[in-house]
Chain A
Amino acid sequence: EADIYQTPRYLVIGTGKKITLECSQTMGHDKMYWYQQDPGMELHLIHYSYGVNSTEKGDLSSESTVSRIRTEHFPLTLESARPSHTSQYLCASSYLTGLNEQFFGPGTRLTVL
């Protein structure tokens, strides 16, 4: 059973606010990911990390930033939310080596008014 958590599950916020989406996993996975997904669309990778102090941008350009100070924690921050950031954000983790599946968190549904 995967143990990866995201908070909040739902967030409605006004334009211009700073927000942080939390993601934590208790499986000791080195690699963590953030995806953005709109209904009926593919998952777009926006950030990933190979381990502590490692962060990389994904395929989809994003105005968000991430940090990886601890193995289990990979928060995503939007400095100034805009309506175009309205989406579902999914966090995932996996082992660094080998062909292993990613384990996903429940997601955060973000609405920016």
Chain B
Amino acid sequence: DQQVKQNSPSLSVQEGRISILNCDYTNSMFDYFLWYKKYPAEGPTFLISISSIKDKNEDGRFTVFLNKSAKHLSLHIVPSQPGDSAVYFCAAIRGNQFYFGTGTSLTVIP
């Protein structure tokens, strides 16, 4: 049973606009959440994370929001740039276990 879900397989956004990537989870015991970015033929690279005790974390153009009551996580990219085009995975940690979503392919149109 998949505990971390990304229901949108793809998203297209105009350059300069906001990209919002969503992630839902089922286990309220997750300690930590992360977003990874993956280019074709490369491994995922860590982007940003948030502890379960927080509701927002910001790093430059990237902001992650956590809504624990809704068990929902989102990544905002503002402004979006063509180089942001990649697959984005959300992940959750409980203890030593990592759980990954299926990814959302973001295309930023110049």
Residues in chain A within 8 A of chain B (CB atoms): 2, 4, 6, 9, 31, 33, 35, 40-43, 45, 90-92, 99, 101-107, 109
Contact = CB atoms under 8 A, between A and B. Distances in A.
B103 A107 contact: no
Given A104-B45, A105-B43, A106-B42, A42 B101 contact: yes
Contacts of A4: 43
Interface residues of B, number: 23
Given A45-B98, A101-B46, A104-B43, 14 more contacts: A2-B45, A33-B98, A35-B100, A40-B102, A42-B89, A42-B100, A42-B101, A42-B103, A99-B31, A99-B49, A99-B51, A105-B43, A106-B42, A107-B41
Contacts, number: 49
A2 B93 CA distance: 20
A42 to B, nearest CB: 5
B65 interface: no
A99 B103 CA distance: 21
A84 to B, nearest CB: 20
Interface in B29-65: 31-32, 34, 36, 41-46, 49, 51
Contacts of B46: 101-103
A31 B96 CA distance: 10
A42 B2 contact: yes
Interface of B: 2, 4, 9, 31-32, 34, 36, 41-46, 49, 51, 89, 93, 96, 98, 100-103
B41 A43 contact: no
